Amino acid sequence: MTIPPMREENTVNRPQALALFDFDGTLIRGDSIVAFVRFARKKGAMSRREYLLACAAAVRYGLGLLSAAESKNAALAFRMRLSEKDRRALDEAFVRQELLGRVYPAGKACILSHRQAGRLPVLVTASTENYMPLAAQALGFEAVLCTPLLPDGTVGENCRGEEKPRRVLSWLKQQGVQADFAASWAYGDSKSDLPMLRLCGHPVQVNPKRKLKKAAPDMETAIWRT
């Protein structure tokens, strides 16, 4: 999903530098879908039973007993009980009242600096499309590549690991943009972000987790705090 439409000057047939950003753990602390579930419960959109089932699924995912897709499906299952209008209202309220306030100021400044330098900022995240496009638009991203939601409310292909560079390359092809990856930047916090980080000439590990630091000890590091 492109947000907003590509600027006309960026469609010129010349290599374009990008700035690729992970979201959870990079631009915010923690996992946004966990925050979304807590917000939904606080607002009364989730029943106590639905909330407990989502929490149990998260624990089982952490223990390796559920896949990421299964955990996300459990977290978002309650949305299909809501009307489309109420789902949209909940997603918008979450982004406006909760999510944007969690974004690191240094992250916001970094996105803006890349836009001003003429690079295309693209959000590439495993979080889901019910709220990520809204957040991406508010933060000034050119596009958001995230985990899709299918018509039945379940998640599609998880935008994680090797799927991230695949999604970036597919988006570039759809847009007719030739990327200058040597001049591009990428930001991530976990080892699963490495395929995206290694796509660019200027990878940066932000508040890196232990496995990422071990896998890429010489990569530039940034520490972002609230």
Q: What is the pLDDT of residue 6?
A: 45
Helices 48-62 and 32-42: crossing angle in degrees, nearest 10, is: 160
Name the one residue in this structure whose structure tokens are 């607002």: 43
- With a cut of 90, say whether residue 84 has pLDDT above it: yes
Residue ranges of domains in the chain: 8-30+103-222, 32-99
Q: Under CATH, which number does the domain 8-30+103-222 receive?
A: 3.40.50.1000
Report the distance separating Cα 195 and Cα 37, nearest Å. 29
Give the mean model confidence (pLDDT) for residues 167-190.
97
List, for residues 9-66, the tens digit of each pLDDT value: 444 568 999 999 999 999 999 999 999 999 999 999 999 999 999 999 999 999 999 9
Task: Please compute the mean of the pLDDT values over residues 90-112 and round it to a whole number.
Answer: 98
DSSP 113-145: HHHHTT-EEEEEEEEETTTHHHHHHHHT-SEEE
Task: Give pLDDT, residue 108.
Answer: 98
Does position 94 have pLDDT exceeding 60, yes or no?
A: yes
Instruction: Using the predicted structure, report yes or no on whether residue 141 has a pLDDT greater than 50.
Output: yes
Say yes or no to pLDDT of 201 above 60: yes
pLDDT of residue 4: 43
Q: What is the pLDDT of residue 111?
A: 98
In angstroms, the Cα distances linking 221 to 101, 133, 186, 212 are 23, 27, 11, 11
In terms of C-beta density within 10 A (0-12 exposed, 13-18 middle, 19 or more buried), how is residue 20 classed?
buried
Note the pLDDT of residue 226. Answer: 85
The residue whose two tokens read 């970036």 is 168
The structure's pTM equals: 0.92
Q: Is the pLDDT of residue 2 over 50?
A: no
